[in-house]
């Protein structure tokens, strides 16, 4: 199911709306346990940079065959061999990845719909204990040149309300990611044996 307000502009313009190196620095990819899963890779704006920063495998998913082809082309031009692309409706079918097998899940600009918990559940399912679900989204406190309707954009409170009962918890890392985004990291809890 394609999320509403998800249309993509020209790739060069799209990439200009992020400070990609700053966001990847915030992710702390070098210290992330692999593999890394990206749900909604679009043009591969983050795929390529993330894959260059890690020795781990990167699994990138998108529902749009044109976006996936563009991301694959960008990864091939960068001569990356650690990226694997999947055309899949993750909202309807999940990722198909093993439970507790991934070190980080990237959910970038895709949680602006009421069923966001479905993607957060899948992130929780596939993350290893202490794995990170990294979320960025368009800010709703300022005007932005793109993005979904302000009222559909999630903020920290909406994300935290969506993880109740999941094995994800907020570790305090939430910040503005200039110029137009904000981010939050959620950590998968380690189950303690009694």
Instruction: Specify whether the backbone of 114 is left (phi greater than 0), alpha (psi in -120 to 50) or beta.
Output: alpha
115 in any annotated domain:
yes
28 in any annotated domain:
yes
Q: Does residue 21 register a pLDDT over 80?
A: yes
44 in any annotated domain:
yes
4 in any annotated domain:
no
The encoded tokens of residue 178 equal 């200039």
The CATH number that applies at residue 111 is: 3.40.50.150
Mean per-residue pLDDT, 33-48:
94
In the chain, the percentage of residues whose pLDDT exceeds 70 is 94
Residue 144 lies in domain:
11-188
Q: Does residue 1 register a pLDDT over 60?
A: no
Q: Are 44 and 75 in contact (CB under 8 A)?
A: yes
Q: Which residues contact 36 (CB under 8 A, 6 or more apart)?
A: 29, 50, 54, 56, 57, 58, 59, 102, 103, 104, 105, 106
194 in any annotated domain:
no
5 in any annotated domain:
no
180 in any annotated domain:
yes
pLDDT tens, 142-194? 999 999 999 999 999 999 999 999 999 999 999 999 999 999 999 999 766 55
pLDDT tens, 58-108? 999 999 999 999 999 999 999 999 999 999 999 999 999 999 999 999 999
99 in any annotated domain:
yes
Mean per-residue pLDDT, 17-43:
94
Number of domains in the chain: 1
Res. 9 pLDDT band, cuts 50 70 90: confident
């Amino acid at each position: 199911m394609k999320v509403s307000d998800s249309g993509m502009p020209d790739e060069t313009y799209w990439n200009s709306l992020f400070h990609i190196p700053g966001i990847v620095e915030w992710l702390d990819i070098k210290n992330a346990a692999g593999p890394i899963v990206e749900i909604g890779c679009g043009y591969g704006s983050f795929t390529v940079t993330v894959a260059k920063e890690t020795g781990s495998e990167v699994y990138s998913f998108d529902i749009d065959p044109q976006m996936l082809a563009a991301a694959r082309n960008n990864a091939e031009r960068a001569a990356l061999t650690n990226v694997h692309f999947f055309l899949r409706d993750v909202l309807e079918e999940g990722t198909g990845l093993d439970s507790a097998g991934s070190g980080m899940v990237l959910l970038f600009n895709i949680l602006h719909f009421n069923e966001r918990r479905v993607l957060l559940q899948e992130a929780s399912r596939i993350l290893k204990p202490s794995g990170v679900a990294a979320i960025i989204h368009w800010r709703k406190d300022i005007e932005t040149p793109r993005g979904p309707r302000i009222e559909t954009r999630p903020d920290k409170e909406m994300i935290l309300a969506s993880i109740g009962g999941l094995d994800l918890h907020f570790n305090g890392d939430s910040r503005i990611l200039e110029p137009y985004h904000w981010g939050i990291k959620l950590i998968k809890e380690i189950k303690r044996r009694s």
